[in-house]
């Protein structure tokens, strides 16, 4: 084995679309404010009968199909999510059963919007330990189910979706060349959901006090997102001996167009070197990178031999980057 590579990708988003005009009817906001400050025009929203696992199952099937791998061949299913169907069992176990991935161990991973990147690095390490392994990594989220629809500072930002990738060992000059993961738990209270866990178990009081929704100090999070995604990108390139002028495509976490543009500018990535789909999906947290990756592959934006950088930042704080020779 030479490298661990992505063998196939897939994504799935719920059908229903919520536009900025729809949000204007719910909170005091405007299409102009949302577009200028975040770059978002619309987002997909799951209905009450569609839990996160449903999105994962469809995205997972599509990734398996594009990899040409059967569910029974999978050794692990890893799902990065902060909006699992329930506290337990893990969403990964629900997906394992639905896909019929009988041989796969399955678990969820909590790293906020960096969940998919953490999952890729974990899968890479598991495959280095045993190169026969095939692993399905999914980033999936239904943030609209933990959104405070009276808070205009957050409710205009989020959307639902899932993206997936199948990883395995290859004997070729392609695959993951460099990775970097980071975290800083000191800043956790800038982006969190306080209720529903062992600290504040669900009660009438926690519901009345709105503890079961996302709390974010957006303008305080912003500079950390830029700084840490840049740091992660530089470190991943450094570990692979690659320089920024060699990058073909940058796929950053889609949280805010201004964050994306700030990173692109510092990495000298012009329009042709950066993938942006935030206008269609909003911030889908752990799903944003695998959705964008799958779209980029299917649109022909990524060609064999290209150097692709995936980079994310999220709650925790957590951040990370994965550099891939496609």
Just list the catalytic residues.
113, 253, 283
Whether 264 and 309 have beta carbons less than 8 Å apart is answered as no
Say whether residue 182 binds ligand UT7 (CB under 6 A).
no
Q: How many CB atoms lie within 10 A of CB 234?
A: 17
Say whether residue 138 binds ligand UT7 (CB under 6 A).
no
> Which one of 7-15, 202-210, 213-221, 264-272 is the stretch in contact with ligand UT7 (CB under 6 A)?
213-221
- Separation CA 58–CA 77 (nearest Å): 14
Say whether 229 sits in a helix, a strand or coil. Answer: helix
Q: CB nearer to ligand UT7: give 8 or 161.
A: 161
Question: Beta 191-192 vs 215-216: how paired, if at all?
Answer: antiparallel
> Which one of 88-96, 100-108, 150-158, 171-179 is the stretch in contact with ligand UT7 (CB under 6 A)?
150-158
Q: Which of residues 230-259 bind ligand UT7 (CB under 6 A)?
A: 255-256, 259
> Which one of 28-36, 124-132, 242-250, 295-303 is the stretch in contact with ligand UT7 (CB under 6 A)?
28-36
CA distances from 160 to 42, 43, 146, 206 (A): 11, 7, 11, 24
Query: Least distance (Å) from ligand UT7 to the CB of residue 298?
Result: 24
164 sits in which H/E element = strand 160-170
Question: Contact letters (x/-) for ligand UT7, 82-101, by CB under 6 A?
Answer: --------------------
Whether 158 and 14 have beta carbons less than 8 Å apart is answered as no
> Which one of 12-20, 93-101, 179-187, 219-227 is the stretch in contact with ligand UT7 (CB under 6 A)?
219-227
Say whether residue 156 binds ligand UT7 (CB under 6 A).
yes
Q: Long-range pairs for 67-70 at CB < 8 Å and ≥24 separation?
A: 67/7, 67/8, 67/166, 67/168, 68/7, 68/8, 69/7, 69/8, 69/134, 69/166, 69/168
Q: Which of residues 255-314 bind ligand UT7 (CB under 6 A)?
A: 255-256, 259, 283, 313-314
Whether 314 and 113 have beta carbons less than 8 Å apart is answered as yes
Chain residues that interact with ligand UT7, rule: CB under 6 A: 29, 33-34, 37-38, 113, 152-153, 156, 191, 218-219, 221-222, 225, 255-256, 259, 283, 313-314
């Amino acid at each position: 084995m030479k490298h661990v590579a992505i063998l196939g990708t897939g994504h799935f988003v719920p059908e229903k679309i919520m536009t900025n005009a729809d949000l204007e009817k719910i909170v005091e906001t405007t299409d102009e404010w949302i577009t200028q400050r975040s770059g978002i025009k619309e987002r997909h929203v799951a209905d009450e009968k569609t839990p996160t696992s449903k999105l994962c199952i469809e995205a997972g099937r599509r990734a398996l199909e594009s990899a040409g791998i059967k569910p029974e061949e999978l050794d692990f299913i890893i799902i990065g999510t902060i909006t699992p169907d329930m506290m337990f069992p893990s969403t990964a176990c629900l997906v394992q059963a639905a896909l019929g991935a009988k041989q796969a161990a399955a678990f969820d991973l909590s790293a906020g919007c960096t969940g998919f990147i953490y999952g890729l690095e974990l899968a890479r390490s598991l495959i280095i330990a045993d190169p026969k392994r095939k692993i399905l990594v999914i980033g999936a989220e239904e943030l609209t189910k933990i959104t405070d629809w009276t808070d205009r500072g957050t409710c205009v930002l989020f959307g639902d979706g899932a993206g997936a990738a199948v990883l395995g060992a290859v004997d070729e000059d392609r695959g993951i060349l460099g990775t970097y993961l980071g975290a800083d738990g000191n800043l956790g209270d800038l982006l969190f959901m306080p209720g529903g866990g062992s600290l504040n178990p669900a009660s009438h009081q926690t519901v009345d006090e709105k503890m079961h929704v996302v709390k974010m100090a957006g303008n305080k999070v912003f500079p950390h997102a830029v700084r840490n995604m840049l740091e992660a990108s530089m470190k991943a390139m450094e570990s692979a001996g690659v320089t920024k002028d060699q990058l073909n495509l940058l796929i950053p976490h889609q949280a805010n167009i201004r964050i994306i543009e700030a990173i692109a500018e510092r990495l000298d990535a012009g329009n042709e070197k950066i993938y942006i789909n935030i206008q269609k999906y909003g911030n889908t947290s752990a799903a944003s990178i695998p959705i964008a990756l799958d779209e980029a592959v299917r649109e022909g934006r990524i060609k064999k031999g290209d150097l692709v950088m995936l980079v994310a930042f999220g709650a925790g704080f957590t951040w990370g980057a994965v550099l891939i020779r496609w």
